[in-house]
Amino acid sequence: MICIEQLGKTFRTARGTSHTAIQDISLEVPEGQFVSILGPSGCGKSTLLYMVGGFEQATAGQISVNGRVVQGPGPDRGPVFQEYALFPWKTVLGNVAYGLREQGVPKAQAEERAMQWLEKVKLANYAGFYPRELSGGMRQRAAIARTLAYEPKILLMDEPFGALDAHTRLTLQAELLSLWEQLKNTVLFVTHSVDEAVYLSDRVVVLTGTPGRVREIVPIDLPRPRVRAELLRNTAYQEYVIQLERLLVDGAHA
């Protein structure tokens, strides 16, 4: 579904120098797979995700989605980025209905569908609230509902739980997994957390330090549905965590 071929990105900095963020990245993601991208800070994880989203242009190689070269954003790829904030002047319902309205869905129908998504992310009682009236975890749930509401085939998530406290993070991870097990979208998920990557993913792509290149792709062969409390006792799970931590440390110096 997603085909990334020898992708590179060199930025022109404000000082007139050039800076290569990622180099020669090739990766294929089949439909319905949950793939996490892990790597040291600054290795280009967000840049890679933005390029798949069509928000940044490649300076080498290309990305195609279902055989079509990515040249800009599209409704087939739904971003859940940290800075992709909710509209503060719209209610939670208004925010979730927004993408549907943009696609020409009539207001009443858009709001009905938005309500169904709010139920799925456990925010139905907060439909009339404004983003500033929500907790961080609720805001992130609303952002996820807003993207899922227009049913993108691909979900692009950039550290969606990074700013949350540990308990909320665990809750949202489990909720995301249970939604994904029903929807089976293709997911590209950027994270700093080895533990989160193993828990959620079918495969984990480990990038090296700057410029980011693929260090290793690790398939996570653990049965689903996954329950974190059970996984923690699972030796295979523990081995994956150790393997990825090792790759991450080595990769930072590669």
List interacting residues with ligand ATP (CB under 6 A): 11, 13, 19, 21, 39, 41-47, 210
Q: How far is the CB of 80 from ligand ATP (least distance, A)?
A: 15
Please state, in angstroms and rounded to a whole number, the distance separating the CA atoms of residues 99 and 105.
9
Coil, strand, or helix at residue 62?
strand
Q: How far is the CB of 11 from ligand ATP (least distance, A)?
A: 3
CB closer to ligand ATP out of 98 and 189: 189
- Give yes or no for a contact between 37 and 191, defined as CB atoms under 8 angstroms apart: yes
> Which residue shows structure tokens 């489990």?
174
- Give yes or no for a contact between 92 and 128, defined as CB atoms under 8 angstroms apart: yes
Q: What is the maximum alpha-carbon separation in the chain? A: 55
Coil, strand, or helix at residue 236?
helix
- Give yes or no for a contact between 51 and 57, defined as CB atoms under 8 angstroms apart: yes
Give the Cβ contact number of residue 213 at 10 Å: 19
Give the Cβ contact number of residue 233 at 10 Å: 8
Q: Report phi then psi at 85, rounded to 5.
A: -70, 165
Q: How far is the CB of 21 from ligand ATP (least distance, A)?
A: 3
Please state, in angstroms and rounded to a whole number, the distance separating the CA atoms of residues 1 and 76.
11
- Give yes or no for a contact between 205 and 27, defined as CB atoms under 8 angstroms apart: yes
- Give yes or no for a contact between 62 and 198, defined as CB atoms under 8 angstroms apart: no
CB closer to ligand ATP out of 91 and 201: 201
CB closer to ligand ATP out of 16 and 88: 16
CB closer to ligand ATP out of 37 and 110: 37
CB closer to ligand ATP out of 45 and 203: 45
Q: How far is the CB of 201 from ligand ATP (least distance, A)?
A: 17
CB closer to ligand ATP out of 21 and 86: 21
CB closer to ligand ATP out of 163 and 236: 163
Q: How far is the CB of 14 from ligand ATP (least distance, A)?
A: 8
Q: How far is the CB of 13 from ligand ATP (least distance, A)?
A: 5
Q: How far is the CB of 82 from ligand ATP (least distance, A)?
A: 9
- Give yes or no for a contact between 142 and 86, defined as CB atoms under 8 angstroms apart: yes
